[in-house]
């Protein structure tokens, strides 16, 4: 499998499941067999994920990417052995860092839900290709990632403004919006990937989608309150 197919979600899931370290091996840079240069994407993703590990209190050395050709078995063995020694020194996940195991898993699982949002926010950087590897040193900063994760946006449908037009419901790529004809729509916050599609497609004359950052999302209204009663206007009679 191309190293570019290793998704950020895969790596975070491994750590959430208790893995002490993750090693990603890829083809040499600029030698991609599929001309997609997925190994550059893997490098960028690794650097991003390392900052996320720092954000949750883990040592970023628990994640490593190395590049080599299929004929360099000795190099592969050296890289893996060195990585294993590093992980052995660091010890079990979270122990050396002083991070509670259950709290760590809960935080990683929270961030896993934000992966689509993170990839969308960092899309341009994930696709960058630099000839000079030193240019990658400051590709992501701790402050940037802290801000990205702490100020993650959410979307909420204002019950008083929703007209049950079903446009956002039909356009949601993960079917996180429930509703129907004459039924106020509600966003399932657990399923929402924070892509902002609903915010973009909601008709301006309604303006029912609110973008929320830095504050909790209001709880959804009850099922009984979601029915919209429309009053038909009678035409005035002509005498």
pLDDT digits (tens, 9 = 90+) for 108-120: 998 998 898 899 8
- Residue 156 · residue 209 · CB < 8 Å: yes
pLDDT digits (tens, 9 = 90+) for 175-217: 999 999 999 999 999 889 888 999 999 999 999 999 998 788 9
pLDDT digits (tens, 9 = 90+) for 40-60: 999 999 999 999 999 999 999
Count CB atoms within 10 A of the CB of residue 53. 23
Cα–chain-centroid distance for residue 125? 14
Q: Which residue has the tokens 């919006």?
A: 177
- Say which CATH architecture domain 154-226 belongs to: 2-Layer Sandwich (3.30)
* Whole-number pLDDT of residue 31: 82
pTM: 0.79
First to last CA, the chain: 79
Domain definitions of the chain by residue range: 3-150, 154-226
pLDDT digits (tens, 9 = 90+) for 129-174: 998 888 888 899 999 999 998 888 899 999 999 999 999 999 999 9
Average pLDDT, the chain: 91
* Closest C-alpha to 186, from 214, 158, 213, 163: 158
More confident site: 103 or 239: 103
């Amino acid at each position: 499998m191309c190293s570019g197919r290793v998704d950020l979600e895969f790596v975070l899931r491994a750590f959430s499941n208790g893995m002490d370290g993750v090693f990603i091996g890829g083809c040499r840079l600029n030698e991609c067999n599929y001309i997609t240069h997925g190994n550059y994407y893997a490098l960028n993703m690794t650097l991003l994920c390392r900052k996320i590990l720092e954000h949750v209190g883990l040592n970023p050395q628990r994640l490593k990417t190395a590049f080599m050709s299929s004929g360099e078995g000795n190099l592969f063995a050296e890289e893996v052995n060195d990585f294993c020694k590093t992980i052995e020194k660091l010890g079990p996940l979270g122990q050396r860092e002083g991070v509670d195991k259950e709290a760590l898993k809960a935080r990683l699982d929270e961030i896993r839900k934000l992966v689509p949002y993170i990839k969308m926010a960092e899309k341009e950087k994930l696709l960058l290709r630099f000839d000079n590897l030193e240019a990658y040193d400051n590709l992501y900063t701790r402050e940037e990632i802290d801000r990205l994760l702490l100020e993650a946006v959410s979307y909420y449908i204002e019950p008083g403004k929703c007209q049950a037009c079903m446009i956002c419901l039909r356009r949601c790529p993960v079917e996180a919006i429930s509703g129907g004809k004459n039924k106020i729509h509600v966003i399932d916050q657990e399923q929402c990937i924070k892509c902002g599609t609903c915010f973009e497609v909601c008709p301006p004359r309604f303006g029912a989608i609110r973008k929320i950052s830095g504050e909790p999302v209001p709880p959804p209204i009850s099922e009984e309150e979601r029915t919209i009663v429309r009053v038909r206007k009678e035409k005035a009679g002509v005498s």
